Structure 1
Amino acid sequence: MVALKVSTGAALLGFVARSLAVPVVSEATTTFSAEATPAVVPPDVPHTNVTSHGPYTGTPTTTGALLTDVLAASIAPLPPKPNPYPSDGELHAPEPAPYTPAGGTDTNGTIPDYKVKSDFDYESIALGLYQEWIELDLFHWGLATFSPEEFEEAGLTAEDRYLIEFMADQEVGHATLLSNILGPSAPVQCTYNYPVTNIREFIDFCQKLTRFGESGVYGFLNHLDAHDVGQLLLQSITTEARQQMIFRQFEGLFPMPVWFEVGIPQSWAWTLLAPYISSCPANQTRLAWQNYPAVYILNQPNPARINGSSAWNETTGPYTNTLSTADIKPEEDCSASKEVGVNCSPAITRNRSEPLSYPGRQVFLQWDEPGKPIGPNNSYITNTTVAQPTFAAWVTQLNVTYTPLQNVSDNTAYTIQPNVSTFAGDPGINGTMFLVLTDLDLYVTPYNISMLNPHVYGLALYQSG
């Protein structure tokens, strides 16, 4: 460590001398009492720029999710645990140390070891690592695929491109952290396939990918057996939340149109992530989470349009339902407008005069049958225990709101966007959210939303705002 010694008296004398135009007698000096010793920095996890992108064309050597004995078709609900704590603002137990109220988890002085402590922990952190790896590649891929001129045409400068590069560097840290937690069996980089052909589609896909990456962690974070691991993961996912907001700003969307960010179960996050992983090494650690069938939102709102809700079949595919710019005429392109309330070029914030969606809107849906190969090496198979979906679950903020599917025929239907709020003044349906097809309008809340899994047919991202 460097020790600095400064002659403060001489410094003060120098200041006075300059102020009074008197010759300087002496100046402040800095002396070093020891050589600087470089800090030991742990290495990053090995990573490279993936050179292969595109769909997998080989034959899988194994199929299906990681599996062991299954005890039941679903987990039966139980009543809440008894809670005798009076919550009256008084202290009800001796303090273990000064200014330290009694209670809390792992606050008794136990040294954390930052290792997973259950299958649930391992599979959750491994899913998070798959997410970090694809983000690392996606950000680099976009910078390498599209020219500076294409970025400039989309309103993104060299400084914006550097921000994307910096976000990729953040993913190196996140991947290193989770790899160190899991140990030698941690999943490694794969190859990927992205449903985009231009900058605006790339930015939209990035903001959707970071949306389910962030929400996927929120869904399991407080259920981890390893609370110390959860603390580290929390400190990485807060960065991911900022990334999602940045990509919304790059897309000309309002950066944070909700009061609460939604959490989703791991199988939902894996369902949305897996289609974009082409292949992984043969000995790659497999996951236990479910892959649900794809859902297409046929009139998915298109943020690239002046009237985003007028879109029809303007996505690059199911699951994320990323926007397509292929059929947008110049006079319908919001980025070409200079009008406040219409212009959607990159900005710190944008207000849109015409909302992307609204209560009472008909939302037209189509879904695949289960049994399709998907994910790394086409080695996972989509499946569901639901024979026929009957509800659309709007999963957003603190709410799960159901609307009936209408005119159901040949894996198509429509439903009506509901008018709901979390609290007065906060429209519940806003931002990049989740639309889930179910066979039951099961009552669930943010902490037990995974109870809905046995009743899920498929899911998609809905761009409600």
Structure 2
Amino acid sequence: MPSTSMRVAALLACAPLALAAPKTTAAKQAAAASSPAPPIRSHPTSISHGPYSGIPLATGALSNSIVGTGIPSLPPNPAATSYPSDGRLHEPQPAPYVPAGGMGTNGTPPVYNAKSDFDYESLALALYQEWIELDLFHDGLARFSEQDFTAAGLTAEDRYLIQFMAEQEAGHATMISNILGAQAPQQCTYNYPYRTVREFIDFSQKLTRFGESGVYGFLPHLDSREAAQLLLQSITTEARQQMILRQFDGLFPVPVWFEVGVPQSWAWTLLAPFISSCPAGQTRLVWQNFPALWILNQPNPARVNASAGYNETISAGMNTLSSANLTTSEACAYSNNTLDDCKPAITQNRTIPLSYPGRRVFLSWETPGKPVGPNNSYVTSSQAGSPKYVAWVTQLNVTYSSLDVTNATSGSTVQPNVETYAGDPAINGTMFIAITDDDPYLTPFNLSLINRHVVAGPALYQAG
């Protein structure tokens, strides 16, 4: 791994728009154009898969001295609403056609590195995500035959698209590794629950959902605006992957007006159970692992009537669909009715919605204290009190519904009827729910304050 100074120089060399380009002769330009591109980070093309059976050498999240029990809820800064927003210019312009203000706009050369513990831990989490996506796409292509993909309605061109997604992840992993430096997390080994192509595709679209949303949650909070710029340019690619995988899954590609962002601990909770082991000395993460949440009647996109099934998932948290035990008449992939079928397509507008307001949702959750993640070295925990609500986190909304508690680890709730703006059902797409002990008012920018109230979850709810 290059040193910090070399790393910055390489990043600047690869980002000519970051600095004003010096005037060069045509010969120099031609020489620069023929110079070799920076290498991608090395990674194994084939690794073992399966559960971890050893003894963890370390236990728990990375930690230091802790100065408080939680982040307090404070009033807004008095100056937060001082700007008049009247369409006029209120400060002298630093240059022609340039308004005053902005961050990183004073001509100082950008340095693409982590500038705080928050930056490093957030980017390290993103790298863990890129590594698993790289392996996931390779594993699906290796595990299933051409005939398996064809039977699922996916062609050779579709398989190549999945392969190209893996190549994109190699680039993303390289970019984040260059920012983090020598201690950047390495690729691990993984344990995937899927058994069919349909389950692999559903698992992948859910994994990319929380990978994308997990970055949206922390991106505006990074101290390093330079690193945020590069990460933004990678996560927009991930957003396209998620849409494509929804199309492969027979789902409507873009059912929401706004994509949701979630806290880092939510993304880590969903990701960690599928990591078996990591190399010795691997960089550990600070983020919390919450107890897992099952959606017992998770809408199953493999069904003609997605809401009709029960216990048709193969994992907690992600609640990936199970395609087993569906009869031909129940499985939408075999439907001859174009309004009911769920074959891969550019778009699918199914007659029967996957979920709907007023639907009763049955839930089951684990208690804290379960070892999870790499080498079973992280432990689930919660600082919350008794379960009282279900938080529905989607688009721009955090909406709560009352939890009808059955016992200490199960209950049910009713899917709320709420719109982001008129005409946009807020609860739609592949979205997030969690069990909470309270219903604090939160918005996308301060959603992480919900963490101390989380009893279990999050889980991905397949609302549409």
CA deviation vs aligned residue, 1:362-419 (integer Å, no higher than 9, x gap): 0000000110000000000000012421100000000000011114313110000000
Q: Give 1:436's aligned residue.
A: 434
Tell me which residue corresponds to 2:100: 102
- Show the 5 A alignment for 1:126-275: 126-275=124-273
Greater mean alpha carbon deviation, residues 92-101 or residues 122-131: 92-101
Give me the whole-angstrom Cα distance separating, in 2, the residues matched to 1:436 and 1:374: 18
Q: Give the aligned partner of residue 378 of structure 1.
A: 376
Aligned to 1:80: 76
The partner residue of 1:349 within 318, 337, 347 is: 347
Q: Which residue of 2 aligns with 1:360?
A: 358
Check whether the contact 2:268–2:287 (CA below 8 A) recurs between aligned residues: yes
CA distance in 1, matches of 2:365, 2:241: 30
Cα deviation for residue 71 of structure 1 reads 1.4
Instruction: Give 2:59's aligned residue.
Output: 63
Match of 2:331 among 322, 327, 333: 333
Q: Is 1:49 the counterpart of 2:45 in the alignment?
A: yes
Rounded Cα–Cα distance in structure 2 between residues aligned with 1:34 and 1:63: 54
Structure 1, residues 34-92: CA drift from partner, whole Å, max 9, x if none?
99642231111111124200010101011000001111111111111223110000111
Is this contact kept in 1: 2:401–2:413, CA < 8 A? Answer: yes
The Cα offsets for residues 145-180 of structure 1, whole Å up to 9 and x where unpaired, read as: 000110011000000000000000000000000000
Secondary structure of 1:152's counterpart equals helix
Q: Which amino acid in 1 is paired with 2:39?
A: P
Cα distance in 2 for partners of 1:378, 1:251 equals 31
State the 4+ residue runs in structure 1 displaced beyond 2 angstroms.
32-37
After superposition, give the CA deviation of every residue in 1:181-203 in whole Å (9 maximum; x if it has no partner). 00000000000011100000000
**Partners of 1:348 and 1:238 in 2: CA distance:** 19
Letter of the structure 2 residue corresponding to residue 58 of structure 1:
G
Partner of 2:7: none
| CA distance in 2 between partners of 1:216 and 1:389 (Å) | 24
Instruction: Indicate the residue corresponding to 1:462 in structure 2.
Output: 461
Instruction: Give TM-score, length-normalised by structure 2.
Output: 0.92
Identify which range, 333-342 or 129-138, moves more after superposition: 333-342
Listed as ranges, the gaps of 5+ residues in structure 2 are 1-25
**Aligned letter for 2:136?**
L
CA distance in 2, matches of 1:369, 1:327: 30
Q: 3-state SS of the aligned residue for 1:214? A: helix
User: 1: distance between equivalents of 2:446 and 2:405?
Assistant: 31
Letter in 2 for 1:197: R
SS where residue 230 of structure 2 aligns? helix
User: 1-side partners of 2:36 and 2:93: how far apart?
Assistant: 38
Which residue is equivalent to 1:301? 299
Q: Secondary structure at the match of 1:462?
A: strand
Deviations 1:216-272 (A, max 9, x none): 000000000000100000000000000000000001100000000000000000000
Aligned to 1:445: 443
Cα 1:249–1:35 change in 2 (3 A) is closer
CA contact (8 A) 1:45 1:172 kept: yes
Q: Distance in 1 between matches of 2:28 and 2:418?
A: 65
Distance 2:341 2:205 in 1: 19
Conserved 8 A contact 1:50-1:191: no
Q: 1:410 aligns with which of 408, 421, 439?
A: 408
Residue aligned with 2:150, SS: helix
Distance 1:209 1:258 in 2: 18
**Equivalent residue number for residue 24 of structure 1:** none
Q: Residues 33, 55 of structure 1: CA spacing in aligned structure 2 closer, same or farther, 3 A cutoff? A: closer
Structure 2 vs 1, CA of residues 388 and 101 (structure 1 numbering), >3 Å: closer, same or farther? Answer: same
**3-state DSSP of counterpart to 1:155:** coil
| Aligned pairs (5 A) from 1:116-127 | 116-127=114-125
Q: Tell me the distance in 2 between the aligned counterparts of 1:392 and 1:407.
A: 11
Deviation track 1:400-442 (CA, whole Å, cap 9, x = no partner) reads: 0001111431311000000000000000000000011100001
SS where residue 412 of structure 2 aligns? strand
User: Per-residue displacement from partner, 1:129-148 (whole Å, max 9, x unpaired)?
Assistant: 00000000000000000001
Gaps of 5+ in 1: 1-31
Tell me, yes or no, if the aligned pair for 2:385 and 2:453 is still in contact at 8 Å: no
Query: 2:339 and 2:299 mapped to 1: Cα distance?
Result: 17
Residues 437, 407 of structure 1: CA spacing in aligned structure 2 closer, same or farther, 3 A cutoff?
A: closer
> In the TM superposition, what whole-angstrom CA distance separates every residue of 1:12-45 from its partner, at most 9, and x where no partner exists?
xxxxxxxxxxxxxxxxxxxx99996422311111
Q: Which amino acid aligns with 1:136?
A: L
Structure with larger Rg: 1
Q: Is the 8 A contact 2:302 2:342 kept in 1?
A: yes
